[in-house]
Amino acid sequence: MKRFLSFVGIFSILGAGCYSAPISTSSLPVPQAALPVESVLPDVSSAPSGLVDVALSNTDTVPENPAPPAPQQEALFISMTSGNFFFDPSAITASPGQTVTISFVDSEGSHTFVIDELGIQKDVTTGTVITFAAPETPGNYAYYCDTGAHRKLGMEGILTVK
């Protein structure tokens, strides 16, 4: 019995520590959205003539039929082969900002794929996939293999952005 009373006493003390009084909502601040409109809008009754009209007529400049957003460009997918001193294709054409994905479907030997202006330098084997955004600035960008003298031996191509 003594144990039981000790047990009940401990739980009574613990239970008393978990009680908290209800929060009075009368002391909470009123959210701005609940205020009447007159209390959040500035008083314009003393503004010089013409200023109020301009401020209120700003909504007239919104077109009724806004232009639709520009369509997103389709991504460009290239299947590429590489071998002793060649890339095929050796010319790629893309639009500014277009996503370009190059998938190496066949690669013989040890090669890399480099585009200096884009900071791309990747080892290439069959199955390698390289994805990048074409430069925003139109122009010609060389891609090449920087392994040994491969570039001098003809292993390069041109990415044309237009």
pLDDT of 22:
54
Q: Six-digit token pair at 90?
A: 């050796």
pLDDT of 73:
78
Q: Tens digits of per-residue pLDDT, 100-127?
A: 999 999 999 999 999 999 999 999 999 9
Stated as kind and residue range, the H or E segment containing 5 is: helix 2-17
Predicted TM-score of the model (pTM): 0.57
What rounded mean pLDDT belongs to the chain? 78
Mean pLDDT to the nearest integer, 60-89: 81
**CA distance to 41, 70, 104, per residue, from 101 (Å):** 53, 22, 10
Pick the residue with more confidence: 29 or 84?
A: 84
DSSP notation for 123-136: EE-TT-EEEEEPPS
Mean pLDDT to the nearest integer, 20-35: 52
Q: Tens digits of per-residue pLDDT, 34-63?
A: 555 555 555 656 655 555 454 444 455 555
- The band of 23, judged by pLDDT with boundaries at 50, 70 and 90, is low
- The band of 64, judged by pLDDT with boundaries at 50, 70 and 90, is low
Superfamily of structural domain 76-161: Cupredoxins -  blue copper proteins (2.60.40.420)
User: Could you state, in order of their start, the residue ranges of all structural domains in the chain?
Assistant: 76-161
Q: Six-digit token pair at 76?
A: 């460009």
